[in-house]
A and B are shown apart, each in its own frame.
Chain A
Amino acid sequence: DVKVTQSSRYLVKRTGEKVFLECVQDMDHENMFWYRQDPGLGLRLIYFSYDVKMKEKGDIPEGYSVSREKKERFSLILESASTNQTSMYLCASNPAGEAKNIQYFGAGTRLSVL
Chain B
Amino acid sequence: GESVGLHLPTLSVQEGDNSIINCAYSNSASDYFIWYKQESGKGPQFIIDIRSNMDKRQGQRVTVLLNKTVKHLSLQIAATQPGDSAVYFCAEIALGGAQKLVFGQGTRLTINP
Instruction: Please report A residues at the B interface, Cβ cutoff 8 Å.
Output: 4, 31, 40-43, 45, 48, 50, 56, 58, 90, 92, 94, 100-108
Contact A106–B43 (Cβ < 8 Å): yes
Question: Interface size (B, Cβ < 8 Å)?
Answer: 20
Q: Per a CB cutoff under 8 Å, which of A48, A100, A108 touches B43?
A: A108
Contact B89–A43 (Cβ < 8 Å): yes
CB neighbours of A58 from chain B (8 A): 100
Given A4-B43, A90-B43, A107-B42, CB of A100 within 8 Å of CB of B103: no
Contact B44–A105 (Cβ < 8 Å): yes
Q: Per a CB cutoff under 8 Å, which of A45, A101, A108 touches B93?
A: A101
Tell me, rounded to whole Å, the shortest Cβ–Cβ distance linking A50 to chain B. 8
How many angstroms between the C-alpha atoms of A104 and B104 in the bound complex?
A: 17
Contact A40–B105 (Cβ < 8 Å): yes
Q: Per a CB cutoff under 8 Å, which of A4, A56, A102 touches B98?
A: A56
Closest to B46 in A: A102
The contact sample of 22 A-B pairs, CB cut-off 8 A, is A31-B99, A40-B105, A41-B105, A42-B103, A42-B104, A43-B89, A43-B101, A45-B101, A48-B98, A56-B98, A58-B100, A90-B44, A92-B43, A101-B32, A102-B34, A105-B36, A105-B45, A106-B43, A107-B41, A107-B42, A107-B43, A108-B41
Does B84 sit within 8 A of A, measured CB to CB?
no
Tell me, rounded to whole Å, the shortest Cβ–Cβ distance linking B87 to chain A. 10
CB neighbours of A48 from chain B (8 A): 98-100
